[in-house]
Amino acid sequence: MTDKIITLTNVSASYQKVIVALQDISLSVRTGSIVALLGANGAGKTTTLKGISNLLKAESGAITSGSITFDGRDIKYENAYELVNAGLVQVLEGRRCFPHLSVEENLLAGAYAVGTSKLESIERLETIYDWLPRLKSRRYSLAGLTSGGEQQMLAIGRALISRPRVVLLDEPSMGLAPIIVKEIFEIVRTLNQETGTTFVLAEQNLNMALKYSDYGYVLENGQMVLEGLASELIARSDIHDFYLGGGITEK
């Protein structure tokens, strides 16, 4: 076992064999860390996450070159469900809850996806409620009638109920009020510290992402343009000025 649980080496990707989305991306994620993928809309963050989780094919996309490893093994051609069973789960942008199912039914769907028994599913459900008590209070509510913040918590809880080793979290702050964004990031950090779960966050909210991350990568037009410790990146004005266009003022 390596201390780098995910490694991308010179990865390129395209959609419909025409649109180049990533060009020679290389990055690594250490076990038990929180890593931020930063960049403006269209920079390649989501494509990078879906390349790792092997969900690109669902959108007529593909990795065209390079290698992707998870815990030391090549996963570029593995199916997404195989990766979930191996402990690699993605929370998609927009939360993607089942709106006509209850909060609890949504959570149990995450357990059933990895073949968890009924008894174990119930045990895991209580663990999720301990971590995310707001979900317990809404357990019988239809997911579609909960708030955006609650749906984001639900999406994270649905991923965690499978007991993943790595969670790929795409734009967790999207469409949420600043106070809720802070709560979501606090939850991520707590889960990371208490369970050792590795998180990879794709985010446009630069300061918030770096505040809660250990390491960061900046993408621009599908290329890696900067990387470093989060504490060092957050102090660099050129990230705002050149890569993210400024305008992010979250403290």
* Residue 103: half-sphere exposure toward Cβ, Cα within 13 Å: 25
Q: What is the pTM of this model?
A: 0.89
| pLDDT value at residue 162 | 87
| pLDDT value at residue 241 | 62
| pLDDT value at residue 242 | 54
CB atoms within 10 A of CB 134: 17
Task: For residue range 67-118, list pLDDT tens digits in order.
Answer: 999 999 999 888 888 899 899 999 988 778 899 999 999 999 888 877 777 8
- CA dist 189 and 186 (Å) reads 5
Q: Residue 146 in contact with residue 158, Cβ under 8 Å?
A: no
Task: For residue range 5-64, list pLDDT tens digits in order.
Answer: 999 999 999 998 888 999 999 999 999 999 999 988 889 999 999 999 999 988 889 999
Amino acid at 24: D
| pLDDT value at residue 238 | 75
Task: For residue range 208-233, list pLDDT tens digits in order.
Answer: 999 999 999 999 999 999 999 999 99
- CA dist 29 and 35 (Å) reads 7
Task: For residue range 182-212, list pLDDT tens digits in order.
Answer: 999 999 999 999 999 999 999 988 889 999 9
Beta bridge partners of residue 167, listed in sequence order: 89, 199
| pLDDT value at residue 1 | 42
Angle at 155 between CA 150 and CA 168, to 5 degrees: 130
- CA dist 144 and 155 (Å) reads 12
Contacts of 47 (CB under 8 A, 6+ apart): 13, 21, 22, 56, 61, 222
Q: Give the 3-state secondary structure of 9-39.
A: EEEEEEECCCEEEEEEEEEEEECCCEEEEEC
| pLDDT value at residue 59 | 85
| pLDDT value at residue 80 | 87
Task: For residue range 139-168, list pLDDT tens digits in order.
Answer: 999 999 999 999 999 999 999 998 899 999
The answer on pLDDT for 245 being more than 50 is: no
